[in-house]
Amino acid sequence: MNVQEIANQNENLKKGILLLAGWIAAVLSLFIYPFVFGMIGVVSGILATKNNKSRIGVYLVVSSIALMGIGLVFSTNILSWVYHR
């Protein structure tokens, strides 16, 4: 294994962690603090696509914005529905 392969693995790990954190934040924006967690998802998606032309980060940005909007409008209804089930 050379240095370049190790650097590529490190970049892939960072990108994976950013994407995972972004998706978790996007889903959390439905339930609690929609603006904060939605923006975390958007920023994570942007950072994940910064050096690489990956479409997964773009999907994360779009879905974070959509879930943040839904969370801003319906967060009290969603929480009451979840707690009463």
Q: Which two tokens stand for residue 33?
A: 């603090």
Residue with tokens 């009463």: 84
Residue 75 CA to residue 13 CA, distance in Å, equals: 33
Q: Give the model's pLDDT for residue 64.
A: 95
User: Given a cut of 70, is residue 3 above it in pLDDT?
Assistant: yes
What is the 8-class DSSP label of residue 84?
Answer: T
Q: Report whether 70 contacts 57 (CB < 8 A).
A: no
Pick 15 or 24 by higher pLDDT: 24
Using CA atoms, how far residue 10 sits from 22, 37, 49, in Å, is: 18, 26, 15
Q: Which two tokens stand for residue 35?
A: 């603006």
Q: What is the pLDDT of residues 35-82, one digit of tens each?
A: 999 999 999 999 888 877 678 889 999 999 999 999 888 877 777 777
